[in-house]
Chains A and B, each alone.
With several copies, the nearest count.
Chain A
Amino acid sequence: MELKQILEAIVFSAQKPMSIGELRTLLRDTPEKLPDELQTGEYAKATARAVEKALEELTVEHDAANRSYRLACVGGNWQFVTKPDFAPWLQVLVGAKPRPPKLSHPALETLAIIAYRQPITRAEIEQIRGVAVDGVVQTLVERELIEVCGEADAPGRPRLYGTTQFFLEHFGLKGLDELPAADELRRIHVELATAPAADSQEELPLDNEANEADDDPDEVDDDEDEGDK
């Protein structure tokens, strides 16, 4: 029995996505809890690297098999996911609202600011929106609507964000110039940016110290699911 087969069976049967840590715990605990079972001890001490490698191999195998589902790692947790083509039936199956997920309101607003004002730092976005936008920016990066496009020439060299090619595709735009009323709205924003937003306490105090150490936009994987449409 190979390690990857065992991992596959576990991830396949688990009711929730499994982290490498959880998988290793299970590999370690099984021979302890079931001492009668032979052979379960073989992988009790599998390293994190070995587990990860096995999972990566499985991912490749499943992608190659081109089934209606695949093995995916989302936020460090491994799970089998169904490809989006089949979402309609699955949504009816569970009685969910047959609607793809919407961008949240905060996300849309933030995206709009970035679209019209790019390149822009997070602090500037927060200045306009009046609230912290850490999570929202992260979501937009994950959804590939925005990306880091440089560093601002300012203390701490904060990252500059701009929209992606996918942003244009998604909204059906040939270019940023096609943003509706672009001139009009850009001008307004210029005015806004100079407005005294910093002292507007009714919304929220600003979170100026950009704490972006854990951001890692380069890790976002692109277009891997385009093939099976």
Chain B
Amino acid sequence: MPDFKIQFKVFEGPMDLLLFLVKKQEVDIYEVNMSLLARQFIEYVEVMKQLDLEQAGEFIVMASTLMYIKSRELLPVNEQVEDTEDDDAADPRWDLIRRLVEFKRFKDASDDLQKLEIEREKVYTRRPGIIPIDPLPMVNQLEASIFDLVGAVNELLRRVAEREAANGEIVEDPWSVSEKIVAIRERLGQAGRLKFSGLFDGARSRGEVVATFLALLELVRLRQLMATQDDSFGEIEIIVAPVELQQITPEQPEPETVTT
């Protein structure tokens, strides 16, 4: 049986070989010619013995099973029927075929698994390097309020004032920001909320307006206060921030970019 030698490594056991032989007959497993199957199998095992292969043990067990089945089939028909009617499972022929069918199914299933494995290898899972949140529309959620804006102006003013002072001009500032912080806190402590425009009632000079802005800005920055607005064009109101907001550490301002 030269073709067996060629195929040798393919057979991973007696079931594998049996299946191969069934396929060679080109019939349904249930229609297989058991005598032919047994003969070819035994021939194969003979070749194995000659080659002194380890697995032979399992093949020899199967060979004897096949011999047994073959011998039963040689019995007169009436004796066969008697046996198969009430105890189908005990019929070694059916038992073998059942095992073959099952084995074949698993072999097919393993082919399916292999296909899945190959497909899976071609599939790439999206793993974005960063969380890509749409950058443009974030503009609409800028957390910059009018206070930030005015605060920026004021800081600028102060810096310019320092510059002027360095140049020898003396700038008087009778209004301290810390005083104004205390004042705003007091007023809010009583009322709970305050209209933005009301903050500047009674301001007597530019310096006082500036100091009040700065104070307000500082409180907003520290998140002790919040500015709210009912709608985009409504009056801004200042309220005491909820406690959990106050606990957020304020962000550090970004360092200035400097061009040379």
Option from A96, A100, A105, A113 in Cβ contact (under 8 Å) with B141: A100
CB distance from B31 to the nearest CB of A (A): 9
B interface residues, tally (CB under 8 Å): 95
Choice from B30, B124, B144 contacting A94 with Cβ under 8 Å: B124
CB pair B142 A181 closer than 8 Å: no
Q: Report the minimal beta-carbon distance from B102 to chain A, rounded to whole angstroms.
A: 6
- Which of A22-30, A48-56, A128-136, A153-161 contacts the other chain? A128-136
Smallest distance from the beta carbon of B251 to chain A beta carbons, Å?
A: 7
Cα–Cα distance between A81 and B132 once the two chains are bound (Å): 5
A13 with B258: CB separation less than 8 A: no
Do B144 and A170 touch (CB < 8 A)? yes
CB distance from B171 to the nearest CB of A (A): 12
How many residues does chain A have at the interface if contact means C-beta atoms less than 8 Å apart? 81
B167 and A180 within 8 A (CB): no
Q: How far is the CB of A66 from chain B (nearest CB, A)?
A: 13
Residue pair A100, B134 in contact (C-beta under 8 Å): no
Does A204 lie within 8 Å of B133, measured CB to CB?
A: no
Task: For A112, list chain B residues within 8 Å (CB).
Answer: 106, 109-110, 112-113, 149-150, 152-153, 156
**What residues of chain B lie closer than 8 Å to A82, measured between beta carbons?**
123-124, 126, 131-134
**A170 to B120, Cβ gap below 8 A?**
yes
Complex: chain A residue closest to B241, CB-CB: A35
* Residues in A neighbouring B117, C-beta threshold 8 A: 102-103, 170-171
Specify which chain A residues have a CB less than 8 angstroms from the CB of B121 in the assembled complex. 87, 97, 99
Is B116 at the interface (CB under 8 A from chain A)?
yes
* Cα–Cα distance between A224 and B136 once the two chains are bound (Å): 9
Give the shortest distance, in Å, between A185 (CB) and chain B (any CB). 6
Surface stretch bound by A, among B10-18, B34-42, B75-83, B178-186: B10-18
CA distance A180 to B206 in the complex (A): 12
A200 x B133 contact (CB < 8 A): no
By a CB distance below 8 angstroms, the chain A residues around B138 are 84, 87, 100-101
- Are B163 and A200 in touch, CB under 8 angstroms? yes
In-complex Cβ contact of B142 among A103, A135, A199 (8 A): A103
Q: For the complex formed, measure the closest distance between the CB of A174 and the CB atoms of chain B, giving whole angstroms.
A: 6
Question: Does any Cβ of B come within 8 Å of A39's Cβ?
Answer: no
A197 to B127 alpha-carbon distance, docked (Å): 51
Closest to A207 in B: B259
CA distance A145 to B110 in the complex (A): 14
Q: How many contacts between A and B, using CB within 8 angstroms?
A: 303
The residue in B101, B135, B145 that gathers the most chain A C-beta atoms within 10 A of its C-beta is B135
Q: Bound state CA distance, A74 and B132, in angstroms?
A: 11
Q: Is the CB of B149 within 8 A of A80?
A: no
**B68-95 Cβ-contact flags toward A at 8 Å (1 or 0):** 0000000000000000000111100010
Let me know if B106 and A131 touch, CB within 8 A: no
Across the interface, A173 reaches (CB within 8 A) one of B107, B116, B159, namely B116
Do A195 and B160 have beta carbons less than 8 Å apart? yes
Complex-state Cα separation, A35 to B120, whole angstroms: 21
Contacts of B136 in A (CB 8 A): 72, 74, 221, 224-225
A130 with B103: CB separation less than 8 A:
yes
Assembled-state Cα–Cα distance A81/B127 (Å): 9
Contact A131 B55 (CB under 8 A): yes
What residues of B have a CB within 8 angstroms of the CB of A185 in the complex? Answer: 105-106, 109, 150, 153
- In the complex, the answer to whether A84 meets B123 with C-beta atoms within 8 Å is yes
A41 contacts the other chain (Cβ, under 8 Å)? no
Assuming the A-B contacts A197-B89, A224-B136, are A35 and B245 also in contact, with contact meaning beta carbons closer than 8 angstroms in the complex? yes
The complex places the Cα of A99 from the Cα of B139 at a distance, in Å, of 13
CB distance from B248 to the nearest CB of A (A): 8
The list of the 3 closest CB pairs from A to B, nearest first, reads A196-B89, A131-B13, A84-B122
Q: List 29 A-B contacts (CB under 8 A).
A: A13-B128, A16-B130, A17-B132, A35-B244, A74-B135, A80-B125, A80-B132, A81-B125, A82-B123, A87-B133, A100-B142, A102-B114, A105-B152, A106-B256, A109-B156, A128-B106, A129-B106, A130-B15, A132-B58, A171-B146, A172-B119, A173-B116, A179-B149, A180-B113, A185-B105, A185-B150, A192-B102, A225-B136, A226-B137
